[in-house]
Amino acid sequence: MTHSNNSYKPQGSKFHIRKELQKYLKYWYWFVLGIGAAIIGGVFYLRYTTPIYSAAASIIINQETSNNGGSEMPDLGFATGLKTNNLEKELAILRSRRIMHDVVKALNLNLTFFVDGQVRDVELYKNVPFSLKVLKLKEENDEGIGGESFKISLDKNNKLKITNLKTFETISAKPGTSIDLGFGNVVIQPKEGVESFSNITMRISEVDEVAAKYRGGLKLIQERENSNVIQLVLEDPVVEKAKDVIDQLIFEFNRDAIEDKNLIAGNTANFINERLDIINDELEYVESGKEEFKESNRLTDIKAESQLFVQTASDYNKQRQEIGTQIELVNAMLDYLSDSERAELLPANLGIEEGAINQKIAEYNDLVLERNRIMKSSTELNPMVIRINNNIDQIKANIFQSLQRLSKNLQISQNEVSRQMRSIGSKILAVPSQEREYRGIERQQSIKEALYLYLLQKREENSLALAVTAPKAKIVDSAYSSGYIVSPKSKSVLLGTVVLGFFIPFSIIYIRNLMDNKIRKRGDLEEITREISIVGELPRVKDKSELVITENDRSMLAEAFRFLITNLQFLLLKSRNTQKSAKILVTSTIKGEGKTFTALNLAITLANTEKKVLLVGADLRNPKLHQYLSKATKNIGLSDYLANKDLNLESLIGKSKFHKNLSILPSGSIPPNPSELLRQPKLDGMFKKLEENYDYIVIDSAPSMLVTDTFLINKYADLTLYIIKAGYTDKDLIAYPVEAKRGGSIPKINFILNNVQQVDLGFGNKYGYGYGIGKKSVFNWRNHAALQRILKILS
């Protein structure tokens, strides 16, 4: 039965995998219960969790282009002041708090209605049995209300009952009348066909809070890179509400963009009308002067005396006309710029041919629009407003200076053309002065007419832009839903519960095994050392009445001790001397590991083989064996015999109540010097006397790690049984008996693993250890032929 260090070799990784699995498989019922409980929890979770649905819509963000249409006249860009050059800007507006705030107010999403359920409340969206209208809010609630909850019911007597769920105050009123709910006055009117309803909960939330909730849940997905097709996705427990929010969000986005366009177009229309009035007066004055000139000079048909000079002069006149038009536009813009306020928009692309000025005007208008948008929810003291105002003033000054420089440059060009015209004029001195004056009047008339017609055309285009305004977001697909539940997903939840139900017991077992420093089974002991053989495993006894085995006992404990003494017979054959009696010492590392329990049952088992057995209580410091003796003899024993020369050894030995062949020598009185007593030569003589009368002497010793008593007695023992208690003995303590064997202080040492759970028992449990085991048996050891042969050899 002895095993050496090299006697055991693992049989490959397959063995180790199986060994690890066995740590968990023995607790299979934990996994079954864990998975079952987790699945039940998952089913309840799916049953009572509010399902979440998804709604989506697709839109195209229009990229606007110039509406010049190939006209030779410069484009004022009335309807294109907000060209979409950056898709991110439009997406930022689409997900802005302001737009979502308008959506919440338009759909009254801050008012939610629920009907009481057994586990969870169900929201009513379009199925509310009544309509509620807020007539007037109190002054302190003008900016909004929130945090109020009411329970509303209508009985068959057409009487409303409204309960404030905070104060539990109840109000009774008739439908259609004004009701004061604290935050304001409302009117509740049942819908047609509704006679009564009960337990309808109305919750009033803050608009900003609801808007923030939907902003957080809104997803804007660009279908592909550099594409202006955007998909809007929103999840909500009420699918109809999610669709309405998306549709209303698109509507509010388009409305906001149209308002911005109309704002620019309106300012441009005012500018054009003002200029038309001025130019109309100037044109009437020029035409009146032309008429008076002809009447005073009696002219009906003016002949050109020199067509060549006239043609040349005509070319210069054309240049002068264009320059004059530019000067007029620049001067008009300077006048408008001087009179405009900070928040007013400037006409964009008025026809000034200087590209840098047009770019600065567009930048100025963008800043003005941004400032006006911020001012809707802020004040002049906002740092962002101050910064934008500074930028507006700076750009405005730059535009003013650029226009002044352009005006000077145009004036220089006009002077140059005039000089050229004077050069030509010197060549046509023969032409009457009336001709020259008349052509000057015509030049003024043509400039005014061209400018007047141009502004009339732009006014019509601007009016058309106001009348026909295309939405910024073109709807590809209105909000729709597949109707499938997005969350919770039943397959994922059930799979997750199975994994969780498996993982929790697995983690508990793993952590317990990881933190466990106790010897639990045979394998734990063999992993630490194989220098000391394991001669027996004793099962855990749950019932205290079964701690001591009896004659003809067929319990698992009795079979374990029979298996133990069978192993001991072979060990004693090798270790025993020529003496008749076999002395077996039972010890352990610390107290509480079952020395007395093992020694007593081992002695009973040996007595059942019709051998004379003596059980010696050698634990002089903390004796336990005396509790199994009668009151008359339990106070005198081994310590008294060693300390008193007058005591007779036979008088101290008492018969056991457990078996007729078992005698017990108790430990006796607790001495002050146990070690000195055990060192006396009298102890050696005592064992020699006992060997003459008994076949087996079982010695119940003290813990070897705590005192030296065991080492003093060990030299008399033929075999030492070292008790290791499963679930009690630390793994670190195994080093102590190993070192004792290596050092020679306990050379004939063998392990007995005590208190082993049935699932952790060794080979016998796995391969039928309990075969034929009952609580009692009529089996007689005297009739066991194999055992009789062994006993005959030993004797």
In the chain, what percentage of residues exceed pLDDT 70? 81
pLDDT digits (tens, 9 = 90+) for 295-342: 665 555 555 445 666 777 777 788 888 888 888 888 888 888 777 776
The pLDDT, as a whole number, for residue 133 is 84
Q: Which of 263, 433, 268 is nearest to 350 (CA)?
A: 268
Residue 776 DSSP SS3: strand
- Whether 130 and 188 have beta carbons less than 8 Å apart is answered as yes
pLDDT digits (tens, 9 = 90+) for 633-663: 557 888 888 888 888 888 888 888 888 889 9
Query: How far is Cα 754 from Cα 537, in angstroms, rounded to an integer?
Result: 6
What DSSP letter does each residue of 494-536 carry, written as one string? Answer: HHHHHHHHHHHHHHHHHHHHHH--B--SHHHHHHH-SSS-EEE
The pLDDT, as a whole number, for residue 698 is 94
Stretches where the chain sits below pLDDT 50 are 1-15, 65-85, 142, 304-305, 430, 632, 767-769, 774-795
Can you state the angle between helices 595-607 and 556-575, rounded to 10 degrees?
80
**Phi, psi angle pair for 714, to nearest 5°:** -60, -30
- Residue that is written with structure tokens 């039965």 in the block: 1
Instruction: Respond yes or no on whether the N-terminal peptide bond of residue 488 is cis (omega within 30° of 0).
Output: yes
